[in-house]
Amino acid sequence: MVKKIVLFVVLTSGLFSQDAYERNCVGCHKDLPTTLQQMFKEYLQTYSGEENVKAGLKHYLRYPSKSISVMSELFIDSYGIKKKTTLNKKELDEAINIYWNKFKVFDKLK
């Protein structure tokens, strides 16, 4: 019984220690050949500014479609379009903010 409780605590604490981005994004993307950073650069190349990137990304996650995807046709043909997000607004914003802060170019150039 004690072993079960310890195992449960370890598993749940591991789950809750992850942020919205890691919980909801990393898991699915790790199986794709294109990294999240490369995708970020695609977004950056298309939308440029922070507000623009976030808005573009949010819109795509809510209403995924081939016509507004930043990825190449070859990629979409191979891996298809993702499913519509089930995250609520708060969680989606949080995940996107973390994603931006993780890969933004600001302060990284020297």
Partner 1 sequence: MLVSKNKATNSLLKSEKKSLLRFLTLYVAMVIFMITLLSVFYYQSQEKLMLADQRASLTKYAYIQTKRLKVLHYFFDERTTYPRDPRFKSAIYDIEFMKIFSILNDESIRFDEEIYITNKHIHFVKTLDTYYLGTKYLIIEVEDDGAWRGEIWKHILGYGLIAFFLFMLFGLFLAKLFLKPMRDSIMLLDRFIKDTTHELNTPLSAILANIEMMDTGVMVDKNKKKLNRINIAAKTVSTLYKDLTYLTLEQEKQNEDEEIAVKPVLENRVEYFDILAKSKNITFVLSLQHATIFIDRRKFIRVIDNLISNAIKYNKRGGEIEIVLQENMLSISDTGIGVSEDKIPFMFDRYMRFNQSEGGFGVGLSIVKKIVDEYNIQIEVESKEGEGTKMVLKW
Question: Which spans of this chain sit near partner 1 (rule: CB under 8 A)?
Answer: 37, 41, 44-53, 105-106, 108-110
DSSP-based three-state secondary structure for 68: helix
CB-wise, 36 or 87, nearer to partner 1?
36
Q: Which is nearer to partner 1, 12 or 101 (CB)?
A: 101
Give the angle subtended at the CA of 66 by the CAs of 92 and 80, to the nearest 5°.
Answer: 85
DSSP category for residue 48:
-
Shortest Cβ 83–partner 1 spacing (Å): 28
To partner 1, the closest distance from the beta carbon of 49 in angstroms equals: 4
Give dist(CA 50, CA 21) in Å, integer: 17
Phi, psi of 34 (to 5 degrees): -95, 130
Structure-token pair, residue 51 = 């507000």
Judged by beta carbon, residue 37 or residue 101, the one nearer partner 1 is 37
Q: Nearest distance from residue 78's CB to partner 1, in Å?
A: 20
Smallest separation, CB 1 to partner 1 (Å): 48
Instruction: Choose between 18 and 52: whose C-beta lies nearer to partner 1.
Output: 52
Q: How many CB atoms lie within 10 A of CB 13?
A: 9
